[in-house]
Amino acid sequence: MQKKELSDSKEQSANEIKAIIKNSLKSTGLFSDEDLSKSSKLEKELPNAFGRYDFDLAEFPLFRLYKNELKNHDIREPIIYSDSIKGKNGEIIPRRWEAYAGRFGFGGATTQVLLYDLLQLYVEQGLENETIRFGTIHALFQRRGNRNPSKRDYARMIRDFEVLEGYSFKCTNAFWDDQRKAYVDMTWRLFDNVVFFKSKHNSLQNQMPFGFVKVNSVLQSAAKTRGFFALGFDNQLFYKLKPLEQRLALHLAKRFRSKQVYVRFVDDLAKALPIEAARPDNVRAILSRTAKGLLEKKLPILQSFKIEKTGRGGEWLATFHRKEAPKDTLVKKLDSFNPDIDFLVEELIAVSGEPGSKNWWHQCARSLGRDGIFRAIGQFKEKELLVDLKSKGAMLTAILKDIAEQQEIKIH
């Protein structure tokens, strides 16, 4: 009898985990009950939202994308980029950007894609919280169209998370504070930590859909004050580009927001991407091949390019002509594009037994986010064990309001 009870308990626990995962997938709005009953149906394409990105991350180099064989090149040394811009009254302002790797070294092609994924999720989730909820590693692969990632793919992505968490930046005059009308020197990071939840202690391939990264306060501030700019091309196109094509596309999108024609010395542009090659002619060949790749793949913002030698000093110049200005709208509104809200609302309805209060639960979910809602549900369940509640909805509302007051959050 005890064995049967233990077996029933394990089966119930497994079913609860499956239900959580199913509800999480359903909450994205991409899958119906019929879809979820057939695993093959989960191979639907995600919406092709226009990509968005941070201005400074598009401007300055982050990753080593071109595998080179330069002698005496220490990949642990920081990536250093410097240039000058015109400030107020035509004043020349020198800028400097130093990107330092953590103990896992610099990221490359796959790390760049992961950062892109996380920034898209941050936009989709409203740029409001200090966390980016990615759910599981498998969900990130599925987002890119990779339905069957290998163990090596999982290991690579875990390392990419660690690489991103390890990055730090030292910037001189690289930021402009519009409120204080001042240039800013700053040392900062992208993310403070990354958290995975596993249904089995020894397998990241059996994750529960609650994984998140904590966004550093500097990136949070940038997201809330200026948002992320639209790239003018969708996520699916980004995934089809080669690593250096991705980087050049991000760079051009930022420049094309204000310029019809973007002109840059090849050496300077190579440092900004970066292209790290042994000889100048190799740099030009790589840049030309990369730009041609963008045209062949029909990057909608790029009309044409040319690389030519200037008469003055014999320097090489790259010229890019804009086709379409980067569009500044998303396919869906941010609120309706947040895959977490509906899931949290369903949880609140299930606990309270009050589907008629759905609008109120939606306001609570949107304002408090996953952490606040599950904290409230935990407190509610503890209270329910101790007290015979006359109105579950009223008690849950009181707890939610108390948590909101503690965090100085207004539910709206």
Strands (E), 32-142: 50-53, 79-86, 92-100, 131-135
Do 168 and 214 belong together in one domain? yes
Query: Has this prediction a pTM greater than 0.85?
Result: no
Do 187 and 287 belong together in one domain? yes
Torsion of CA 291, 265, 76, 195, to 10 degrees: -50
252, two tokens: 């051009």
Do 285 and 349 belong together in one domain? no
| Contacts (Cβ under 8 Å, ≥6 apart) of 5 | none
Phi, psi angles (nearest 5°) of residue 65: -100, -20
Do 289 and 377 belong together in one domain? no
Do 208 and 356 belong together in one domain? no
In a domain, 4, yes or no: no
Q: Count the domains in the chain.
A: 3
Q: Which helix (H) or strand (E) holds 155?
A: helix 151-166
Residue 287 binned pLDDT confidence (cut-offs 50, 70, 90): very high
In a domain, 299, yes or no: yes
Asked which of 37-51, 137-151, 168-182, 188-202 is least confident by mean pLDDT, the reply is: 37-51
Residue 246: how many CA atoms within 13 Å on its side-chain side?
30
Bridge partners of 86, per DSSP, are 92
In a domain, 174, yes or no: yes
Q: What is the average pLDDT score of the chain?
A: 81
Of the candidates 287, 322, 357, which is a domain's last residue? 322
Residue 85 binned pLDDT confidence (cut-offs 50, 70, 90): confident
In a domain, 223, yes or no: yes
Name the residue among 277, 269, 230 with its Cα closest to residue 247.
Answer: 269
Range of the domain at 349: 340-412
11-15, 311-315, 352-356: which has the highest mean pLDDT? 352-356
In a domain, 229, yes or no: yes
Q: Span 73-83, mean pLDDT?
A: 79
287, two tokens: 């840049």
Q: Span 235-246, mean pLDDT?
A: 95
Task: Decide: helix, strand or coil at residue 22.
Answer: helix
Do 265 and 366 belong together in one domain? no
Strands (E), 137-245: 168-177, 182-189, 191-195, 211-215, 229-234
* Res 74: pLDDT: 58
